[in-house]
Structure 1
């Protein structure tokens, strides 16, 4: 099955027509920053069609009529019709988008004009990649911090580290993956915290993430943005049934060398499932088949 999908992906990225891209922006009330972000996407040098889908979360829809839309570009403004918050907003945008590839952008970020062209070139060279990232340039409070991600990041890499240089506003995914084998952004995580990490872990079960070696994304707001620094000691939520929890706990007792310990948590989010929490490495080390998510 995986081989068949890889072959399909290769055809998608090697076909003669230029692949269309939809960029999804969720916003909740920063009109000037939003317009800057939108324009940075509409002004991409990428030759394919680009659609910007702006999802307004818990605020009235602004049609952005003052934003000029060049030829080969489209701008769509819609309301969040799913769970309030970033995850629901992004999913609303994904489902409304027409592009073969989906990119995310926050409303206070902007893309370098060559971002899409450079990332799509990387994808053409590595069609087996499940997603594409880029470096980031954080410009705040008079400082300029550049973070360049590894050229290739695997599922095991993400189990051991959040790899903070891979930022959600740089990511490109195939739309068919997000509505299919990977799944949409998880809207049930508490307060939406860690939904990007969860998506990266789920995505890399099907392939590696490749990155460009340059910072094609920038955050230039006036405040400080704190990027999550998640390591081996971060707590994860492992969504499992009660029998599975007993099995996992028994596995730990049989392997006393494992760091930390599992703790039973009450059912959350109305699922009726029990949850266990432990260190990020646990799921891999004791053979749990779940996709752990950040707590």
Structure 2
């Protein structure tokens, strides 16, 4: 029997790239067993394009809970028989062959809790920016490197559901920022193995006003994350990460002060 893989797509408010994201997921070969689109408390209930509605389930949260809560809602809606769980954010897209490459990798290494791929960064217009998301070599990836940086685009990850749930899933400590990094570190804390499969490619969209554009909030979340998980690494590694986070926070505050003064 084929392994069942389900996909969660969290959405809040206007989602101009949702159709592209769903097309990229639904045209995978093999296709996922289920796709759940989570409407995280949008003021107007989400309505899918007729091409997507028959193949997707919409789970609506009446109040916005943040991206971590939306991910958890989608995972619960997939059902307990879903063996593998993936996410595709509404402004990202999977490249052809992404899911197949990961299914092959997990079949070859059944002890791996999650695998992830590489990301090409594109702008709001869909054109490549020339950046790539923290490319890492193929193979296992873990501590201490995972504490210092997050090379895992959440839209590229495919996780075993049992490992995901044993680690606590997407908890509420990081509702909007670093929720994925927190999960990877909780998996590492349990001794789980993460595998990089570079052939599993996605397109990661970077745009003005996107969540990762909020430098201060992201830096604050990372500072908290490095504090919470500081016991996973040696004192030198912990100090280096915390110093970097504090510098990012101070730098953003200085930039904001300069803008206000001009």
TM-score by length of 1: 0.66
Moved segments of 4+, more than 6 Å = 227-230
Contact 2:40/2:63 (<8 A) preserved: no
Say whether 1:207 aligns with 2:207: no
Instruction: Give the alignment of 1:218-229 within 5 angstroms.
Output: 218-220=203-205, 222-223=207-208, 226=212
Which secondary structure does the structure 2 equivalent of 1:149 belong to? coil
Which has the bigger relative contact order, CA under 8 A and spacing at least 6? 2
Contiguous gaps of at least 5 residues in structure 2: 243-248, 250-262
Pair 1:187 & 2:172 matched: yes
CA distance in 2, matches of 1:127, 1:81: 38
Which one has the bigger strand percentage? 1
Q: Which of 162, 183, 186 is residue 149 of structure 2 equivalent to? A: 162
Q: How far is 1:182 from its partner?
A: 1.1
Of 88, 106, 109 in structure 2, the residue corresponding to residue 123 of structure 1 is: 106
Q: 1:237 corresponds to which residue?
A: 227
Structure 1 or 2: more helix by fraction: 2
Mapping of residues 128-143 of structure 1, within 5 Å: 128-140=111-123, 143=129
- Residue 152 in structure 1 maps to residue 133 in structure 2: no
Q: Give the 3 Å change call, closer, same or farther, for CA 24–280 of structure 1 in structure 2.
A: farther
Q: CA deviation at 1:107?
A: 0.5
Answer yes or no: is the 8 Å Cα contact 1:140–1:224 preserved in 2.
no
- Say whether residues 1:20 and 2:10 are aligned partners: no
Q: Which of 23, 28, 34 is the matching residue for 1:44?
A: 28
Shift of 1:237: 3.2
Q: In the TM superposition, what is the alpha-carbon distance from 1:152 to its structure 2 partner?
A: 1.3
Is 1:77 the equivalent of 2:62?
no
Give the whole-Å Cα distance in 1 for the aligned partners of 2:13 and 2:19: 11
Distance in 2 of aligned mates of 1:26 and 1:68: 15
Residue 237 to residue 123, structure 1, CA distance change in 2 (3 Å): same
SS in 1 for 2:2: coil
Instruction: Indicate which of 145, 158, 164 corresponds to 1:178.
Output: 164
Q: Paired residues, what number?
A: 225
Matched with 2:253 is none
CA distance in structure 1 between the aligned counterparts of 2:83 and 2:90, rounded to whole angstroms: 22
CA separation of 1:29/1:224 partners in 2, compared to 1, >3 Å: closer, same or farther? Answer: closer
Q: Deviations over 1:148-196 (max 9, x none)?
A: 333211233323x2233x11111111122222x111212133x532111
CA distance in 2, matches of 1:219, 1:30: 18
RMSD over aligned CA atoms reads 3.3
In the alignment, is the contact (CA less than 8 A) between 1:87 and 1:185 conserved in 2? yes
Give the deviation of 1:214 after TM superposition: 2.9
Q: Compared with structure 1, are the counterparts of its residues 81 and 30 closer, same or farther at alpha carbon in structure 2 (3 Å cutoff)?
A: closer
Gaps of 5+ in 1: 1-16, 240-247, 249-256, 261-277, 283-294
Secondary structure in structure 2 of the residue aligned to 1:219: strand
Secondary structure, aligned partner of 1:177: helix
Residue 83 (structure 1) shift: 6.5
